[in-house]
Chains A and B, each alone.
Chain A
Amino acid sequence: MTDSNTRLSTSSPPDRARRRLLGGLCALGAGTFLTGCDRLSESAPVRAALSNVEQLSYKAQRLIASRQALAKEFDESQIAPVFRPNGTTNPQEDYYRAWVENGFADWRLTIDGLVEEPMTLSLLALREMASRTQITRHDCVEGWSCIGQWTGVPLADLLDRVRPADTARFVVFHCADHTYGGSDLYYESLDMIEAYHPQTLLAYDLNGEPLPVANGAPIRLRAERQLGYKQAKYVMRVELVESFKQLHGGKGGYWEDRGYDWWAGI
């Protein structure tokens, strides 16, 4: 606001041509903007750039938020009457149907990959380990939330038993179900910080009852600081890896292979 920027004058007729040009540019801009954004969504470099934003969100949250911060736990009175199932709710694979038939008696959980002592555990063996019970809120990427009570083995305890190698950077959860009956098995992965988080469980009970088939029987993952699609159901195998590049689509999860963020903390 310096004097050199001000000048004294009387009203002059407005510059019509300039106004028309300005108006035209505005209309053109709005029109191309909408179709432009849709086109951009299809272009590979733009999609790569957009996914860099995910890395920014991930690093920012790791930087600012405490790694040990606990997700809020709720009161029993807040448990939802029905815990809403999503994704696959009734796997049709023969092996899975057979497990359901005999109450998961010959179902086994395998923990292997970059570990010093790979192991196989029955459901009974898991139930005999020290457990944790927590009432937490499940937040779906779609936007809804549901509160449920989970009982299971802290993943940290299992990792302590198999002793991960120094090279292990991610824990991958392989599931029994072909999502929506398609050709791909569901899988998910966590970094070691989320994997060792005290609220990260392999849960076998929901609201004090054995986990129903719709919610992931016999065990499902609970990673309480992540969105719903991280909470892998029907977990059969836990594999420790240095990188998930070689697995399935290479993005670390079923939905990640379909464009969703691997970092599901937001």
Chain B
Amino acid sequence: MAARDEVLARIRTALGRSPAAGAPAGDRVPRGYRRSAGLDTGALISLLTERLHDYGTAVRRCPPSGVPAAVAEALAGRGARRVVVPAGFELPGLDVPGVTLFADDGLSPGALDAADGVMTTAALAIAETGTIVLDGGPGQGRRALSLVPDYHLCLLQAGQIVGIVPEAMDRLPPGSPCTWISGPSATSDIELDRVQGVHGPRTLEVILIEP
């Protein structure tokens, strides 16, 4: 008997029923937990910023017209000269001397490693947990892009901030590969002393765009 058939048969025997029992009906799971935080945009911005600061993530706030300047400031502050961006990502008006934005066209891990940093947009952010979510949508790129370079500059719209995790799950389309980022990487494996910055970008900075 093939393994698949045998495991399924074992499960059915263990549960004491026949194969044709069919799909379970309805959702009888008690869902008394919060499904939304009920916070307004101002409160969401405030909470997210506080949580990002807890993680040591620099947050620059600006209106849409101020984005190029904020980006220029961030990149200059970092000393980043070669910054990779997802294919199709455009930032008109960005003028930073000595900075080259080059598009990801299937760069090798080594080439990504050689970049000074990566710049992307985001899918959404979760205020309560200080989480930025990337789901490969426009301006976010494939996962390796925001993983290998040591510096990640993320452009986030204020309207993309939700309050709590269930709100995020409601908005994210299942199927795309998705990365949730909550603070820089860390380990507590050595005597439980938390050490930041193991793998993944050790510096994350956010530009929060408010209309």
Does chain A bind chain B? Answer: no
